[in-house]
Amino acid sequence: MEESSRVSVDTKRESGQVLVFVTILLAAIIGLSAIVVDFGYAYYAQRSLQASADASALAGAQQLPDPAAAVATAKQFGTQAGAKNASSKLSSVDEVVTTRCLASVPGCNPVNAVSVQETGHVNTFFVRFFGINTLDVHVRSTACSPCGVKPLDIMLVLDRTGSMCQNSAGQNDPSCYDLNNAKTGIKTFLNFFDPSIDWIGLAVLPPGDTMANKCGTPVSGNYNSPSSPYVLVPLSHDFKNKDGTLNTGSNLVSTVNCVKGGGTTAYANAIDAAEAELQKDGRPTVPDVIVLLSDGAANTGPSYYSTHSPYRTQPCHQGVTSANTAKAAGATVYTIGYALGDDTGGCNSYTGADESPAITVYQAMQGMASTASDFYNQPTPGQLNTIYTQVASDLGHGASSLINDNAP
């Protein structure tokens, strides 16, 4: 009897200990579950906030290079009250939208990136019993534009005539200051594009005598051979290295670097050849672009045409006609006039007579461009980087891309 009573007391004591242990264990499980629920919801809210910040940055960047429009558009797509991505998952959101220049993206006129920083405050459900009423989540997103995110097939047309190696007085300039400015501008232009999606080629006037001698000094007589190549570099996509620097060993960059100046001016066949290359090697679903730079009026034409051909009697008008043919085929044509005022000869036929009807070099360059805003003019000799940057920016307008940005 005494033995039985002792067993009963020991069992009750052990049962009480188990109950305490289970109670503590249940409390721990409930606490952990509360943490999982609240922090899981906070993570979900953060992912939602990140998606909103990405959308906001991308939308804002499409308005670049206008900083005010970019900020206003980004805020329209943000998460604050009234915005298109306002979230019910967050009790409140603090948002900061800025525009700035990113060194990792070439060109900046005046800004090339939109950054969106958002801090959201998530109300808790369970951990508030531990004194934590809200959890803060932070996100950041940066988008650039232009930054080579729009597939394009582009033919550059370079006037490398003798006047590009003369000064404003018409005297020979051994340093070829104007031609070198054009080369630098073209290489600045190339920096804006991604060769994995953008293909770029090079046509010149005058043409070369042969492809094997594309780096030789051209002469006006090259126009008179039907086999003279205007397209020195077909559409290519190896003009950059993996680190984003220009590939100086590529056909395109090395040819830009080596071309020399000489000869007289005739736009039309170079434009025809550029358009033919776009049709031959361009991609059917990708927009075509021609960017032509010239420093003067057309004044000659190939002798294999008849003496009544507009290629010879109206070389400026024929340049406009050839550009219009390219435009009708779907190409967008940009023209860059370089120190056009230095050309006092004007548009005239191969005989030296003025074109009829009369046309100025300005009218020719404007007429070749797709729109008035697609004609750029550098009135005095100088760097062309800014104009080529403006053309690249226009081509990239409306296309933005998210970019890794570790700046504070």
Q: Is the pLDDT of residue 327 over 90?
A: yes
- The reply to whether 178 falls in a domain is yes
Considering only CA atoms, which of 406, 195, 401, 157 is closest in space to residue 298?
Answer: 157
* Relative orientation angle of helices 315-328 and 268-281, to the nearest 10 degrees: 20
**Do 197 and 61 sit in the same domain of this protein?**
no
**Do 157 and 140 sit in the same domain of this protein?**
no
**Do 201 and 337 sit in the same domain of this protein?**
yes
**Do 307 and 260 sit in the same domain of this protein?**
yes
**Do 176 and 117 sit in the same domain of this protein?**
no
The secondary structure element, H or E, covering residue 73 is helix 67-76
Mean pLDDT of the region 116-140: 78
Could you tell me how far CA 9 lies from the centroid of its own chain?
Answer: 84
**Do 23 and 119 sit in the same domain of this protein?**
yes
**Do 253 and 389 sit in the same domain of this protein?**
yes
CB-based contact 249:236 (threshold 8 Å): no
pLDDT of residue 135: 75
- The reply to whether 50 falls in a domain is yes
- The reply to whether 370 falls in a domain is yes
**Do 34 and 113 sit in the same domain of this protein?**
yes
Q: What domain count does the chain have?
A: 2
pLDDT of residue 274: 98
Q: Is the pLDDT of residue 9 over 90?
A: no
- The reply to whether 99 falls in a domain is yes
**Do 210 and 337 sit in the same domain of this protein?**
yes
Least confident interval from 16-30, 206-220, 234-248: 16-30
pLDDT of residue 104: 74
Q: What is the pLDDT of residues 227-260, one digit of tens each?
A: 999 999 999 999 999 888 999 999 999 999 999 9
- The reply to whether 289 falls in a domain is yes
| Bridge partners, residue 142, by sequence | 115
The label of the residue with tokens 């050309």 reads: 343
Question: Which of 118, 144, 170 marks a domain boundary?
Answer: 144
- The reply to whether 156 falls in a domain is yes
Contact partners, residue 255, CB within 8 Å, separation at least 6: 202, 214, 215, 232, 233
C-beta neighbour count of 267 within 10 angstroms: 25
Distance (Å, whole) CA 272 – CA 288 = 14
pLDDT of residue 19: 63
Distance (Å, whole) CA 222 – CA 303 = 10
Contact partners, residue 113, CB within 8 Å, separation at least 6: 61, 64, 99, 100, 101, 102, 105, 142, 143, 144, 145, 403, 405
Amino acid in position 18 = V
**Do 341 and 205 sit in the same domain of this protein?**
yes
Question: Which of 121, 144, 167 marks a domain boundary?
Answer: 144
Between residues 161 and 22, which one has the greater pLDDT?
161
Mean pLDDT of the region 317-334: 98
CB-based contact 221:257 (threshold 8 Å): no
**Do 254 and 337 sit in the same domain of this protein?**
yes
Distance (Å, whole) CA 69 – CA 50 = 22
Question: Which of 116, 144, 172 marks a domain boundary?
Answer: 144
Sign of dihedral through CA atoms 364, 369, 375, 377? negative
pLDDT band for position 147 (cuts 50, 70, 90): confident
**Do 111 and 157 sit in the same domain of this protein?**
no
- Can you tell me whether residue 309 is helix, strand or coil? coil
- The reply to whether 8 falls in a domain is yes
Q: Mean pLDDT of all residues in the chain? A: 88
Q: What is the pLDDT of residues 94-117, one digit of tens each?
A: 899 999 988 777 667 788 899 999
pLDDT band for position 92 (cuts 50, 70, 90): confident
| Bridge partners, residue 293, by sequence | 158, 336
- The reply to whether 89 falls in a domain is yes
Which residues constitute the domain of residue 47?
A: 2-144
Q: What is the CATH number of the domain that holds 333?
A: 3.40.50.410
Mean pLDDT of the region 365-386: 94
